[in-house]
Amino acid sequence: MKLTHPMGVALGLLALTLVPVGLVHANALSITYYTIATADQDVNHLAGGSFNNEVQSQLGPNGLPVLNTAAYGCVSDCFTATPLPNDVTAGGELTWWSPALNSNVTQTGTSIVNLPFSVPSNFFPPNGTGSSDAGGFQSAVLSGILNVPSAETVSFSIGADDAAFAYLDGTVVCDLGGVHPMTAGTCVTPFSIGAGSHTLNVFFVDLNAVQSGLTFDVTTTDITTVPPTSVPEPAALGLFGLGLALIGLLASVRRRFN
């Protein structure tokens, strides 16, 4: 059937504009980029080596990883490498991702990235697109929601130059501390995850000159990973605007035919 009536044409075009094109990215995360100034006290300062006990099991009250030392409540398997990080709050939270708590940290951008995330080298400011750390050091936070339709097994993989920590529902699942070349991190062995929505946060920081890189992935069967808030892409926003215009056209057509 042809839509030759003006009202029918308007309705048809309106339906097309309201199709949710590109509103949700399956198996994707949001990423927030930060640059740490070269003058920061932890730059080119921390102990070399790879450590799987640098942070505590739970995120701190500001949503940041907490240094795992006796000074901040650790009673066993404490992180004892020296020198220790200095960019910490009174409660031990690491501030490499917080302009509010660390004046040497600047937020520089946000984006959407797909899984697996893989930038194994040259992950430099600004926003992972630079060629060196001469103007600052890259840090970033990847965030998302794991939508789990039914209980199943999930596993994580992580690698970084230098440190990277992954948390599921605020509990650490991958701990890769220290200053080192690109290295695979220690993650919790595959485990069962319950149905529902689960928050995922991955913290990355480069603190030593020469190289920088991050890789991360989630291995599942039916789980989808989406950014915390699905934001319409520019093309979708344009279509939505066209839809609003057509609503006005439809109202005008209805008045004409009534």
Structural domain tally of the chain? 1
The answer to whether residue 172 is domain-embedded is yes
pLDDT interval class at 204 (50, 70, 90): very high
| pLDDT of 14 over the 60 cut | no
CA–CA distances in Å: residue 108 to residues 34, 38, 52: 5, 15, 29
- With a cut of 50, say whether residue 22 has pLDDT above it: no
Asked whether residue 16 is assigned to any structural domain, the reply reads: no
Considering the domain boundaries, does residue 11 fall inside one? Answer: no
Q: Which of 213, 203, 211 is nearest to 87 (CA)?
A: 203
Residues 94/66, Cβ–Cβ less than 8 Å: yes
**Residue pLDDT, tens place only, 207-239:** 999 999 999 999 988 888 899 864 444 444 444
pTM of the entire structure? 0.81
Tell me whether residue 248 is in a domain. Answer: no
For the segment 92-113, what is each residue's pLDDT rounded down to a tens digit? 999 999 999 999 999 999 999 9
Torsion of CA 229, 137, 87, 214, to 10 degrees: 60
- Which CATH number belongs to the domain containing residue 63 in this structure? 2.60.120
Let me know if residue 175 belongs to a domain: yes
Among 1-5, 55-59, 187-191, 214-218, whose mean pLDDT is lowest? 1-5
The verdict on residue 90 lying in a domain is: yes
Closest CA to 141 of 36, 25, 232: 36
By residue range, what is the domain housing residue 198? 26-235
Give the per-residue pLDDT at 256.
55
**Per-residue pLDDT tens digits for 41-59:** 999 999 999 999 999 999 9
CA torsion sign for 31, 37, 41, 47 is: positive
Q: In this structure, is residue 249 part of a structural domain? A: no
State how far the Cα of 158 lies from the Cα of 166, in Å rounded to an integer: 8
pLDDT value of residue 221: 80
- Tell me if 157 sits within 8 A of 62, measured CB to CB: no
Our measurement of the distance from residue 138's CA atom to the centroid of its chain's CA atoms, rounded to an integer in Å, reads: 14
On whether residue 220 sits in a domain, the answer given is yes
